[in-house]
Chains A and B, each alone.
Chain A
Amino acid sequence: GAVVSQHPSRVICKSGTSVKIECRSLDFQATTMFWYRQFPKQSLMLMATSNEGSKATYEQGVEKDKFLINHASLTLSTLTVTSAHPEDSSFYICSAPGGFTDTQYFGPGTRLTVL
């Protein structure tokens, strides 16, 4: 089946720094990818829709200047958490729709800890 990878799997950073998370579709092309955030013992909350070659679409309440999304190619979307603060600590997961199956394939997630 289709595979989505994320890098890094976990990152620890100091407050005020920026962190970039990559999401790649390994064996298929994805013009659209989705970024979710998952708090401990809670569900996934959609943050934004990443569109190849155009601006991302953010969900209500998500700061677009804080969570920068770039979808530079058909296989790569990046999420940059700018000026990270401890409250940004979370599990970030990306997904991409796979081919004709109309199914979302999820990456393994990135655990971000901001000290």
Chain B
Amino acid sequence: AQSVSQHNHHVILSEAASLELGCNYSYGGTVNLFWYVQYPGQHLQLLLKYFSGDPLVKGIKGFEAEFIKSKFSFNLRKPSVQWSDTAEYFCALRTDSWGKLQFGAGTQVVVTP
């Protein structure tokens, strides 16, 4: 069975610091990978996605993620965070064509001014 694990449950950092959130998955076949963000009181929004091709994908708001197949990882990065990046971040895996997503446990990111 497939699974998604996110290493950090809570991350606190200052504005302008760099952010990296770890995501590892377990599945032997072809995968589609996503990072979603949930701002306080808002619904989930897609940050970026990887289907195929260039393993370094760029998303909205300056986020990027790198798919490393050999490590089964899809880590999210942002070089310089802002206070408005305070949110919960979810890594998600899709293994079928129906669109079902399996989510990681989420990482709560707090950016202090």
Digitize A1-39: 1 where CB-to-B-CB distance is under 8 Å, 0 elsewhere: 000100000000000000000000000000010101000
* B74 at interface by CB-CB < 8 Å: no
Work out how many contacts link A and B, with CB atoms closer than 8 A: 48
- Decide yes or no whether A93 CB sits under 8 A from chain B: yes
Write the B10-47 contact mask toward A (1 if CB under 8 angstroms, else 0): 00000000000000000000001010100000111110
How far is it, in angstroms, between the C-alpha of A109 and the C-alpha of B38 when the chains are bound?
11
In the complex, what's the smallest C-beta–C-beta distance from A99 to chain B, in angstroms? 12
Q: A43 near B103 (CB under 8 angstroms)?
A: yes
Q: Tell me whether chain A's interface is mostly helix, strand or loop, or mixed.
A: strand
List residues of chain B with CB under 8 Å of any chain A CB: 32, 34, 36, 42-46, 49, 51, 90, 98-106, 108
Count A-side interface residues using an 8 Å CB cutoff: 21
Question: Of B36, B49, B100, which contacts A34 at CB under 8 A?
Answer: B100
Nearest-CB distance from B41 to chain A (Å)? 9
Distance A49 CA – B46 CA, assembled complex (angstroms): 20
